[in-house]
Amino acid sequence: MAVETDWIERLTGESSARDAALADLRELLRGKLRHAFASSGDDFIEDITQDALLKIHSQLDAFEGRSKFTTWALTIAVRVGYTELRRLRWKDVSLEQVTENSASVDAGRVDSQNEPAASAARKQLVEAVHAIIDEDLTQKQRDVLKAELAGMPQEEIGRRLGMNRNAIYKLTYDARRKLKKELERRGFSQEDLSTD
Amino acid sequence: MDLSKENMDALLGFLKQTKDREATCDDCLAAMAEFAETHLAGKTIPESLKAIEDHLEICAECKEEFETLLTALREM
């Protein structure tokens, strides 16, 4: 097995060293992924190990040495595994199904306490959030926010909209910032956002 | 658009954690290995990784990947 400092050198070296390094890395990743995704079958582990190896090899110049090489490689492999797992879990679900099933009209209800003041404050906040969502967010921001709140992973939302996970994160981040700033402008404080 | 009480509570929780500047999922992936090693070593998270710590609080997918990474690393 290669020591940490050897990996990049071996993986970018002449063919026999490279092949041996790839075999070592494959063995290491396969073992860790088998442990990490214990409930998945051998075929799944083999597939994501291979996909992860290809991705790691194509991104070697992105390794900055801020961690051990094997930790960095495993981070990429775990993301490859989850990307595939989420794709399989959500493959038969459309964005429309998710967003249509999550709607309800009961958002102003206060479960734990019936004090009129708390109830009225909550009602005002909920009405303001709904109004800002309807008036200030784009239709795409509304759709993505709703799908995310319904539990659909960002990369699966992105897959259906032709966007990557990072772009989906930025889209909802912009939506959250817009909502928060507008709530502040309307007089709601950080403490008002507490749900306890 | 109407949100259920559960979704409204989740959204308010996200809004409470929303900051003027946040790391993205790509930023998180790039720094996750360093963050995980720092975490496992029991060291204080440096200022340069605070944004990653915040991102993991708000991004369920990165958090799930991070926890799985920790599990795998503990076996190394």
- Which residues on chain B are in Cβ contact (under 8 Å) with A79? 29, 65
- ipTM of this predicted complex? 0.91
Let me know whether A82 and A116 are in one domain: no
**The predicted structure's pLDDT at residue A77:** 97
**Helix B25-40 vs helix B60-74: crossing angle, to nearest 10:** 30
Let me know whether A122 and A69 are in one domain: no
User: pTM of the prediction?
Assistant: 0.87
Confidence of residue A116 (pLDDT cuts 50, 70, 90): low
Let me know whether A143 and A160 are in one domain: yes
| DSSP summary character for residue B43 | P
| Residues A59-82: tens digit of each pLDDT | 999 999 999 999 999 999 999 999
| DSSP summary character for residue B76 | -
Give the span between the Cα atoms of A32 and A140, in whole angstroms: 38
Min Cα separation B22/chain A (Å): 8
Residue A107 has pLDDT above 50, yes or no: no
Let me know whether A65 and A109 are in one domain: no
Tokens 């051990």 sit on residue? A68
Where do the domains of chain B lie? 22-74
What's the CATH code of the domain at A49? 1.10.1740.10
Q: Number of structural domains, chain A?
A: 2
Confidence of residue A3 (pLDDT cuts 50, 70, 90): low
Mutation pick from A75, A82, A145 vs chain B, by most beta carbons of B within 10 Å, is: A75
From A148, A123, A145, A124, select the one nearest A136 (Cα to Cα). A145
**The predicted structure's pLDDT at residue A100:** 78
The boundaries of the domain holding residue A144 are 95-193
Closest residue of A to B35, CA-based? A67
Q: Average pLDDT for residues A125-139, to the nearest whole number?
A: 94
